[in-house]
Structure 1
Protein backbone atom coordinates (compact mmCIF):
# COMPACT_ATOMS: atom_id res chain seq x y z
CA UNK A 1 0.00 0.00 0.00
CA UNK A 2 2.89 2.37 0.79
CA UNK A 3 4.34 1.74 -2.66
CA UNK A 4 1.06 2.72 -4.36
CA UNK A 5 0.82 5.81 -2.15
CA UNK A 6 4.31 7.04 -3.08
CA UNK A 7 3.60 6.32 -6.78
CA UNK A 8 0.43 8.40 -6.59
CA UNK A 9 2.35 11.17 -4.78
CA UNK A 10 5.04 11.24 -7.48
CA UNK A 11 2.38 11.32 -10.20
CA UNK A 12 0.64 14.29 -8.52
CA UNK A 13 3.97 16.10 -8.19
CA UNK A 14 4.63 15.50 -11.90
CA UNK A 15 1.22 16.88 -12.89
CA UNK A 16 1.79 20.00 -10.75
CA UNK A 17 5.19 20.47 -12.41
CA UNK A 18 3.62 20.23 -15.88
CA UNK A 19 1.07 22.90 -14.96
CA UNK A 20 3.69 25.19 -13.41
CA UNK A 21 6.04 24.82 -16.39
CA UNK A 22 3.20 25.84 -18.72
CA UNK A 23 2.82 29.06 -16.72
CA UNK A 24 6.56 29.78 -16.54
CA UNK A 25 7.50 28.92 -20.10
CA UNK A 26 4.48 30.30 -21.95
CA UNK A 27 3.00 29.17 -25.23
CA UNK A 28 4.62 28.07 -28.46
CA UNK A 29 3.58 29.82 -31.67
CA UNK A 30 4.56 28.56 -35.10
CA UNK A 31 4.81 31.62 -37.35
CA UNK A 32 2.33 31.32 -40.22
CA UNK A 33 0.78 28.23 -38.62
CA UNK A 34 0.87 25.33 -41.13
CA UNK A 35 2.35 27.47 -43.94
CA UNK A 36 5.37 28.46 -41.86
CA UNK A 37 7.78 31.29 -42.77
CA UNK A 38 7.48 31.65 -46.54
CA UNK A 39 6.60 33.89 -49.47
CA UNK A 40 4.44 31.18 -51.05
CA UNK A 41 0.69 31.47 -50.54
CA UNK A 42 0.49 35.20 -49.74
CA UNK A 43 0.62 34.69 -45.96
CA UNK A 44 -0.46 37.83 -44.11
CA UNK A 45 1.93 37.82 -41.14
CA UNK A 46 0.47 41.08 -39.81
CA UNK A 47 -2.97 39.45 -39.63
CA UNK A 48 -1.45 36.27 -38.18
CA UNK A 49 0.16 38.22 -35.33
CA UNK A 50 -2.98 40.29 -34.75
CA UNK A 51 -4.90 37.14 -33.78
CA UNK A 52 -2.40 36.25 -31.03
CA UNK A 53 -1.75 37.63 -27.56
CA UNK A 54 1.97 37.30 -26.93
CA UNK A 55 3.38 37.14 -23.40
CA UNK A 56 6.78 36.94 -21.77
CA UNK A 57 8.10 33.39 -22.02
CA UNK A 58 6.28 32.60 -25.25
CA UNK A 59 8.34 30.86 -27.90
CA UNK A 60 8.09 31.98 -31.50
CA UNK A 61 9.04 29.21 -33.95
CA UNK A 62 10.08 30.03 -37.50
CA UNK A 63 9.97 26.97 -39.78
CA UNK A 64 11.24 27.47 -43.33
CA UNK A 65 13.51 26.11 -46.03
CA UNK A 66 16.97 27.57 -45.21
CA UNK A 67 17.98 27.39 -48.87
CA UNK A 68 15.41 30.10 -49.66
CA UNK A 69 14.77 32.04 -46.44
CA UNK A 70 16.22 33.26 -43.16
CA UNK A 71 15.02 35.20 -40.13
CA UNK A 72 16.54 38.52 -39.12
CA UNK A 73 15.61 40.41 -36.01
CA UNK A 74 15.77 44.12 -36.80
CA UNK A 75 14.94 47.56 -35.44
CA UNK A 76 11.62 49.27 -36.13
CA UNK A 77 13.23 51.56 -38.74
CA UNK A 78 14.81 48.56 -40.50
CA UNK A 79 11.48 46.73 -40.36
CA UNK A 80 9.59 49.62 -41.95
CA UNK A 81 12.14 50.01 -44.77
CA UNK A 82 12.90 46.26 -45.19
CA UNK A 83 16.56 46.98 -44.47
CA UNK A 84 18.45 43.80 -43.55
CA UNK A 85 21.96 45.27 -43.77
CA UNK A 86 22.72 45.29 -40.02
CA UNK A 87 20.30 43.03 -38.12
CA UNK A 88 20.20 42.64 -34.35
CA UNK A 89 20.30 38.85 -34.85
CA UNK A 90 20.27 36.44 -37.78
CA UNK A 91 18.79 32.93 -37.75
CA UNK A 92 19.41 30.45 -40.56
CA UNK A 93 18.62 26.91 -39.38
CA UNK A 94 15.15 26.59 -40.88
CA UNK A 95 13.73 25.73 -37.45
CA UNK A 96 14.48 28.72 -35.23
CA UNK A 97 12.93 29.15 -31.79
CA UNK A 98 13.01 32.59 -30.23
CA UNK A 99 11.89 33.08 -26.63
CA UNK A 100 10.23 36.39 -25.85
CA UNK A 101 11.98 37.91 -22.83
CA UNK A 102 10.97 41.59 -22.99
CA UNK A 103 7.70 43.50 -23.25
CA UNK A 104 7.97 45.49 -26.47
CA UNK A 105 7.74 45.08 -30.22
CA UNK A 106 10.00 42.43 -31.73
CA UNK A 107 10.58 42.92 -35.46
CA UNK A 108 11.55 40.11 -37.83
CA UNK A 109 12.00 39.90 -41.60
CA UNK A 110 13.44 37.63 -44.24
CA UNK A 111 16.75 39.05 -45.46
CA UNK A 112 16.56 37.45 -48.90
CA UNK A 113 16.21 40.28 -51.45
CA UNK A 114 12.57 41.00 -52.27
CA UNK A 115 11.05 38.75 -49.59
CA UNK A 116 10.42 41.47 -47.01
CA UNK A 117 8.91 43.71 -49.68
CA UNK A 118 6.65 40.77 -50.62
CA UNK A 119 5.34 40.68 -47.04
CA UNK A 120 7.67 38.25 -45.29
CA UNK A 121 8.03 40.33 -42.16
CA UNK A 122 6.56 40.07 -38.71
CA UNK A 123 5.93 42.40 -35.75
CA UNK A 124 5.48 40.52 -32.46
CA UNK A 125 4.07 42.90 -29.86
CA UNK A 126 4.31 41.92 -26.21
CA UNK A 127 2.20 44.52 -24.43
CA UNK A 128 2.79 45.93 -20.96
CA UNK A 129 -0.70 44.90 -19.84
CA UNK A 130 -2.24 41.83 -21.33
CA UNK A 131 -5.09 39.43 -20.83
CA UNK A 132 -4.22 35.89 -19.72
CA UNK A 133 -7.16 34.47 -21.67
CA UNK A 134 -6.04 33.56 -25.15
CA UNK A 135 -5.78 30.54 -27.39
CA UNK A 136 -2.28 29.24 -28.03
CA UNK A 137 -1.31 28.34 -31.57
CA UNK A 138 -0.12 24.95 -30.37
CA UNK A 139 -2.47 23.26 -27.88
CA UNK A 140 -1.01 22.51 -24.44
CA UNK A 141 0.29 19.00 -23.88
CA UNK A 142 -2.29 16.49 -22.73
CA UNK A 143 -2.08 15.30 -19.15
CA UNK A 144 0.10 12.20 -19.28
CA UNK A 145 -1.25 8.81 -18.38
CA UNK A 146 0.56 6.74 -15.79
CA UNK A 147 3.44 5.20 -17.71
CA UNK A 148 7.04 4.31 -16.91
CA UNK A 149 8.12 5.87 -20.22
CA UNK A 150 7.52 9.63 -20.05
CA UNK A 151 10.60 10.48 -22.13
CA UNK A 152 8.38 11.62 -25.01
CA UNK A 153 7.58 14.74 -22.97
CA UNK A 154 11.16 16.00 -23.29
CA UNK A 155 11.21 19.00 -25.62
CA UNK A 156 14.20 20.76 -27.22
CA UNK A 157 12.70 24.18 -26.45
CA UNK A 158 12.57 23.44 -22.72
CA UNK A 159 15.59 21.32 -21.70
CA UNK A 160 15.22 22.06 -17.96
CA UNK A 161 11.63 20.83 -17.99
CA UNK A 162 12.60 17.77 -20.02
CA UNK A 163 15.38 16.93 -17.59
CA UNK A 164 13.03 17.20 -14.61
CA UNK A 165 10.40 15.05 -16.31
CA UNK A 166 13.02 12.43 -17.13
CA UNK A 167 14.25 12.36 -13.53
CA UNK A 168 10.73 12.08 -12.14
CA UNK A 169 9.80 9.40 -14.68
CA UNK A 170 12.83 7.37 -13.59
CA UNK A 171 11.80 7.74 -9.93
CA UNK A 172 8.22 6.87 -10.84
CA UNK A 173 9.40 3.75 -12.69
CA UNK A 174 11.38 2.46 -9.72
CA UNK A 175 8.69 3.27 -7.13
CA UNK A 176 5.74 1.83 -9.05
Structure 2
Protein backbone atom coordinates (compact mmCIF):
# COMPACT_ATOMS: atom_id res chain seq x y z
CA UNK A 1 0.00 0.00 0.00
CA UNK A 2 2.78 2.46 0.92
CA UNK A 3 4.66 1.72 -2.30
CA UNK A 4 1.54 2.35 -4.42
CA UNK A 5 0.87 5.62 -2.62
CA UNK A 6 4.45 6.72 -3.32
CA UNK A 7 4.05 5.81 -7.01
CA UNK A 8 0.76 7.72 -7.28
CA UNK A 9 2.34 10.78 -5.68
CA UNK A 10 5.33 10.48 -7.99
CA UNK A 11 3.13 10.26 -11.12
CA UNK A 12 1.05 13.21 -9.93
CA UNK A 13 4.12 15.40 -9.43
CA UNK A 14 5.50 14.41 -12.84
CA UNK A 15 2.19 15.19 -14.56
CA UNK A 16 2.01 18.59 -12.88
CA UNK A 17 5.52 19.37 -14.07
CA UNK A 18 4.68 18.29 -17.63
CA UNK A 19 1.42 20.22 -17.94
CA UNK A 20 3.14 23.54 -18.63
CA UNK A 21 5.37 22.22 -21.44
CA UNK A 22 3.13 23.80 -24.07
CA UNK A 23 1.06 26.78 -23.11
CA UNK A 24 -2.30 26.83 -24.81
CA UNK A 25 -5.30 29.12 -24.75
CA UNK A 26 -9.03 28.53 -24.87
CA UNK A 27 -10.77 30.81 -27.37
CA UNK A 28 -14.51 31.29 -26.86
CA UNK A 29 -15.54 31.44 -30.52
CA UNK A 30 -17.30 34.74 -31.07
CA UNK A 31 -17.25 35.62 -27.36
CA UNK A 32 -20.22 35.50 -24.98
CA UNK A 33 -22.15 32.51 -23.61
CA UNK A 34 -23.64 31.17 -26.82
CA UNK A 35 -20.68 31.74 -29.03
CA UNK A 36 -21.79 29.88 -32.15
CA UNK A 37 -24.82 31.71 -33.56
CA UNK A 38 -25.82 33.82 -36.54
CA UNK A 39 -25.43 37.16 -34.72
CA UNK A 40 -21.62 37.19 -34.80
CA UNK A 41 -19.19 38.37 -37.46
CA UNK A 42 -16.67 35.53 -37.21
CA UNK A 43 -14.24 37.13 -39.66
CA UNK A 44 -13.90 40.19 -37.42
CA UNK A 45 -13.64 38.02 -34.33
CA UNK A 46 -10.92 35.72 -35.72
CA UNK A 47 -8.95 38.66 -37.15
CA UNK A 48 -8.65 40.04 -33.61
CA UNK A 49 -7.32 36.76 -32.17
CA UNK A 50 -3.97 35.02 -32.34
CA UNK A 51 -4.14 31.24 -32.56
CA UNK A 52 -1.20 28.95 -31.80
CA UNK A 53 -0.86 25.21 -32.24
CA UNK A 54 -2.16 23.58 -29.08
CA UNK A 55 -4.89 26.20 -28.54
CA UNK A 56 -8.51 25.20 -28.13
CA UNK A 57 -11.71 26.59 -29.65
CA UNK A 58 -14.84 26.56 -27.50
CA UNK A 59 -18.20 26.53 -29.28
CA UNK A 60 -21.33 27.17 -27.20
CA UNK A 61 -24.61 26.67 -29.06
CA UNK A 62 -28.03 25.04 -29.17
CA UNK A 63 -27.32 21.64 -30.72
CA UNK A 64 -30.96 21.23 -31.78
CA UNK A 65 -30.50 24.18 -34.12
CA UNK A 66 -26.79 24.38 -34.99
CA UNK A 67 -23.83 22.10 -35.65
CA UNK A 68 -20.10 22.57 -36.20
CA UNK A 69 -18.35 20.98 -39.14
CA UNK A 70 -14.65 21.18 -39.90
CA UNK A 71 -14.35 21.56 -43.67
CA UNK A 72 -11.75 22.31 -46.33
CA UNK A 73 -11.29 25.79 -47.80
CA UNK A 74 -13.50 25.15 -50.83
CA UNK A 75 -16.40 23.87 -48.70
CA UNK A 76 -15.92 26.87 -46.39
CA UNK A 77 -16.09 29.34 -49.25
CA UNK A 78 -19.14 27.66 -50.87
CA UNK A 79 -20.90 26.61 -47.61
CA UNK A 80 -20.93 22.94 -48.59
CA UNK A 81 -21.84 20.86 -45.55
CA UNK A 82 -21.96 17.37 -47.10
CA UNK A 83 -18.25 16.70 -47.53
CA UNK A 84 -16.91 17.69 -44.10
CA UNK A 85 -13.64 16.57 -42.51
CA UNK A 86 -14.97 16.21 -38.97
CA UNK A 87 -18.28 16.79 -37.18
CA UNK A 88 -17.34 18.53 -33.93
CA UNK A 89 -20.93 18.64 -32.68
CA UNK A 90 -21.45 16.72 -29.45
CA UNK A 91 -23.46 18.43 -26.75
CA UNK A 92 -23.64 22.15 -27.45
CA UNK A 93 -20.57 23.08 -25.41
CA UNK A 94 -17.91 21.59 -27.61
CA UNK A 95 -14.17 22.13 -27.94
CA UNK A 96 -11.73 21.54 -30.75
CA UNK A 97 -7.95 21.55 -30.43
CA UNK A 98 -5.89 23.30 -33.09
CA UNK A 99 -3.04 20.80 -33.18
CA UNK A 100 -1.11 21.91 -36.27
CA UNK A 101 0.02 25.31 -37.51
CA UNK A 102 -2.21 25.70 -40.58
CA UNK A 103 -5.54 27.26 -41.61
CA UNK A 104 -8.68 25.61 -40.18
CA UNK A 105 -12.18 26.08 -41.54
CA UNK A 106 -15.52 25.54 -39.76
CA UNK A 107 -19.10 26.00 -40.85
CA UNK A 108 -22.55 25.52 -39.44
CA UNK A 109 -24.64 23.30 -41.70
CA UNK A 110 -28.42 23.29 -41.96
CA UNK A 111 -28.29 26.48 -44.07
CA UNK A 112 -26.73 28.69 -41.38
CA UNK A 113 -23.37 28.96 -43.14
CA UNK A 114 -25.10 31.04 -45.82
CA UNK A 115 -26.17 33.40 -42.99
CA UNK A 116 -22.55 33.93 -41.94
CA UNK A 117 -21.98 31.07 -39.50
CA UNK A 118 -18.53 30.13 -40.70
CA UNK A 119 -15.13 30.55 -39.17
CA UNK A 120 -11.61 30.51 -40.61
CA UNK A 121 -8.62 30.55 -38.27
CA UNK A 122 -4.96 30.67 -39.18
CA UNK A 123 -2.94 28.75 -36.60
CA UNK A 124 0.67 29.74 -35.98
CA UNK A 125 3.41 27.55 -34.52
CA UNK A 126 4.02 27.92 -30.80
CA UNK A 127 6.37 30.85 -30.23
CA UNK A 128 9.82 29.85 -29.02
CA UNK A 129 10.32 29.75 -25.30
CA UNK A 130 12.16 32.75 -23.98
CA UNK A 131 15.80 32.08 -23.27
CA UNK A 132 16.89 32.30 -19.67
CA UNK A 133 18.69 35.48 -18.68
CA UNK A 134 20.56 33.76 -15.88
CA UNK A 135 23.54 31.47 -16.42
CA UNK A 136 22.90 27.79 -17.04
CA UNK A 137 23.03 25.83 -13.82
CA UNK A 138 22.59 22.14 -13.04
CA UNK A 139 19.09 22.95 -11.75
CA UNK A 140 18.03 24.72 -14.98
CA UNK A 141 19.50 21.85 -16.99
CA UNK A 142 17.42 19.39 -14.94
CA UNK A 143 14.28 21.43 -15.57
CA UNK A 144 14.98 21.45 -19.32
CA UNK A 145 15.48 17.70 -19.19
CA UNK A 146 12.15 17.20 -17.41
CA UNK A 147 10.44 19.03 -20.25
CA UNK A 148 11.85 16.71 -22.88
CA UNK A 149 9.39 14.16 -24.22
CA UNK A 150 11.77 11.22 -23.93
CA UNK A 151 12.39 11.89 -20.26
CA UNK A 152 8.66 12.32 -19.62
CA UNK A 153 7.81 9.01 -21.28
CA UNK A 154 10.55 7.24 -19.33
CA UNK A 155 9.38 8.64 -15.98
CA UNK A 156 5.73 7.79 -16.63
CA UNK A 157 6.65 4.30 -17.83
CA UNK A 158 8.70 3.70 -14.69
CA UNK A 159 5.94 5.00 -12.44
CA UNK A 160 3.30 2.81 -14.05
CA UNK A 161 5.65 -0.18 -13.87
CA UNK A 162 6.04 0.38 -10.14
CA UNK A 163 2.30 0.84 -9.77
CA UNK A 164 1.07 -2.15 -11.69
CA UNK A 165 3.85 -4.70 -12.12
CA UNK A 166 5.87 -4.72 -8.90
Compute the TM-score of the two structures, normalised by the length of structure 1. Answer: 0.59
Q: Which has the larger radius of gyration?
A: 2
Paired position in structure 1 for 2:40? 43
Q: CA RMSD in A?
A: 2.8
Paired position in structure 1 for 2:22? 24
Structure 1 stretches of 5 or more lacking a match?
A: 1-9, 133-176
2:27 counterpart SS class: strand
Matched ranges for 1:1-176 at <5 A: 21-22=19-20, 24-34=22-32, 35-39=34-38, 42-93=39-90, 94-113=92-111, 115-128=112-125
1:124 deviates by 1.1
Q: Distance in 1 between matches of 2:109 and 2:46?
A: 19
Structure 2 stretches of 5 or more lacking a match?
A: 1-8, 130-166
Contact 1:73/1:90 (CA < 8 Å) preserved in 2?
yes
2:49 counterpart SS class: coil
Contact 2:63/2:89 (CA < 8 Å) preserved in 1?
yes
